[in-house]
Amino acid sequence: MTPDTPSEQSFFPLKILVVDDEANIRKTLSYCLSRLGHEVIAVESAEEAREEARHQTINLAYVDLRLGETSGLDLVPVLLTESPWMKVVVITAYASLETAVEAMKRGACDYIAKPFTADRITVLTGQISRICRLEHENEALKADIQDNQPELSWETANPAVMRVLSTLRKAAPSEAIILLHGESGTGKSVLARAVHAWSSRSSGPFGVISCPSVPSELLESELFGHTRGAFTGAVKDNPGRISVCEGGTLFLDEIGDMALGVQAKLLRFIQDKEYERLGESVSRKADVRILAATNADLSLLVEEGRFREDLYYRLNVISLTIPPLRERRGDIMPLAESFLRHFCRVNHKQGLAFAPDARDWVKTHSWPGNIRELRNCVERAVILSHGNLITLEDLSDKPVPSSGQLFSPGDPMTLAKLEELHIRRVLGRAGSLQEAASLLGIDQTTLWRKRKALGLL
């Protein structure tokens, strides 16, 4: 069973705000847009429009140029302040070049003149729908490029892994929260992406927050967003990952490291789909599915008072454990071969293969860092290999037992590369980021910065 990628969808459902003081226009637009499959909210005043934009994520707004005593042009920058990604189309009965230019200057993406036809609305909305879909796909591709993660092969004969994959496929189309358990490096984030791809939300955004990677004092802001001036250093508004993931999925990795205060706010969002940004008292709504993962025993953390019991039960709807690599020996070589193909392609090397002794070592090594350690080990071997075979010396310290390392001071490489390889090695072997930071002799915030600089987030 292999997580597949959904086919490209031409339709991207939008949440559309119609702002017009004429009831007939509101009804006509609402009927036309609803028939196209979009969710429509219709209001008659600028103040109502702003309130709707403050409380939920709007993809597209049709705004009348004249709203009683208010100018629709003045409303455009107000809406974009609330939702910078929103597309605004100005409706006017007084179409002119000056009006169009002024609308664009204030942030509108287009304008439409009265009287308009249903066909014109259909075409324009379809164009904007495709733009929004492409923007979401672009963000997902940028995240994949930044992660530089090779596509994992989930072909397996291991019964436990087969059960996990089967359950995930059944649960993916639902809205249920899924909690993935497993040691560090077992592929929990990859499976979370697969669940998103198999779900009805696959055309929407997929966001990831690694709870231990974000300093605890910034995690709440990263999750829920903040307003400018909410705290020292908040020089501009931040919508937060929940807002950005509207209509999609948010994956919370290593949720056991989340601070208790943030846990309480997350629980409220899971229950009511409501939240507030730091620095404001306005309650906002968002349609986001939550997936979570942990390498810790959450029930033990609950007993110790480090994890909320009510949140634990809300997360523990569908709970699955991914076996470590040492318990699925038959999967090791297929994974190693897939990593080898990926890193040969990335590093412009051809014809590389594992030597017999290297292959034997890969199959018998305990891999305490699981898939992540295997990935890092193969990547290093490809980079440092000579000739057409990856040898045991490229992979392991066995040929040089005195060093006890995969690399050592004096190797022909820069200090920056030596540090990178060492960080990758420690991350692959450590059971948690806290343990990795301790082994490296740095705090978790410094490790987070170094991982970000190396593209490991």
41: CB partners within 8 A, 6+ apart: 15, 16, 17, 18, 52, 58
Q: Do domains 15-134 and 148-323 have the same CATH topology?
A: yes
Helix (H) or strand (E) holding 288: none
The encoded tokens of residue 114 equal 């009265």
Supply 328's token pair: 């699925």
Q: Are strands 206-210 and 284-285 parallel, antiparallel or unpaired?
A: unpaired
Return the domain boundaries, the chain.
Answer: 15-134, 148-323, 327-453
pLDDT tens digits for range 365-416: 889 899 989 999 999 899 988 888 998 888 865 443 333 344 555 566 677 7
Q: Quick one: which of 247, 250, 315, 314 has its CA closest to 287?
A: 247
Cα dihedral 212, 214, 216, 220 sign: negative
Contact assessment for residue 185 and residue 370, using Cβ atoms and an 8 Å cutoff = yes
Helix, coil or strand: residue 88: strand
Helix pair angle (159-171, 188-198), 10° resolution = 40
The rounded distance, in Å, linking the Cα atoms of 439 and 318 is: 34
How much of the chain is in helix, strand and coil states, percent to nearest 5? 50, 15, 40
Give pLDDT, residue 219: 92
On the CB side of 102, CA atoms within 13 Å amount to 14
User: Distance (Å, rounded) from C-alpha 213 to C-alpha 360?
Assistant: 35
What does CATH list as the number for 15-134?
3.40.50.2300
For residue 164, give the DSSP letter: H
What sign does the dihedral 177-182-184-185 (CA atoms) show? negative
Name the stretches of the chain with pLDDT < 50.
Answer: 1-9, 398-406
Spatial neighbors of 381 by CB under 8 A, at least 6 apart, are 358, 390, 394, 395
Evaluate the CA torsion angle 158, 164, 170, 173 in order and state its sign: negative
Please report where in the chains the tokens 């208010």 appear, as a residue. 70
Burial 109-132 (b: 16+ CB within 10 A, else e): bebebeebeeeebeebbeebbeeb
Residues 242 and 232: their CA atoms lie apart, in Å, by 22
How far apart CA 433 and CA 447 sit, in angstroms, is: 8
Output the CATH code of domain 148-323: 3.40.50.300
Q: What is the DSSP pairing of strand 284-285 with strand 274-275?
A: antiparallel
Helix (H) or strand (E) holding 251: strand 249-253
Rounded CA-CA distance 75/90 in Å is: 10
Q: For the chain, how many helices (H) and strands (E)?
A: 19, 16
Tokens encoding 177? 């929260």
Report residue 100 as tokens: 């169009």
The one-letter code for the residue type at 212 is P
What is the architecture of the domain spanning 327-453?
A: Orthogonal Bundle (1.10)
Please state the length of the chain: 457
Residue carrying structure tokens 């403050």: 54
Cα separation, 242 vs 22, whole angstroms: 34
Distances (CA, A) of 50 to 55, 57, 83: 9, 11, 10
User: What pLDDT, on a 0 to 100 scale, did the predictor assign at position 83?
Assistant: 80
What region, left, alpha or beta, does residue 148 occupy, with left being phi > 0 and alpha being psi -120 to 50 degrees?
Answer: left
Residue pair 380/417 in contact (Cβ under 8 Å)? The answer is no
For residues 103 and 77, the answer to whether their CB atoms sit within 8 Å is no
Q: Quick check: 302 and 294 in contact, CB under 8 A?
A: no
| Alpha helices for 36-173 (secondary structure H) | 46-55, 72-82, 97-105, 118-147, 159-171
List alpha helices for 365-443, DSSP H.
370-384, 392-395, 415-429, 433-440
The whole-model pTM stands at 0.66
Nearest alpha-carbon partner for 173 in 285, 6, 294, 293:
6
Which of 316, 317, 385, 315 is CA-nearest to residue 348?
385
Instruction: Give me the amino acid identity at 377.
Output: C
The amino acid sitting at 156 is: T
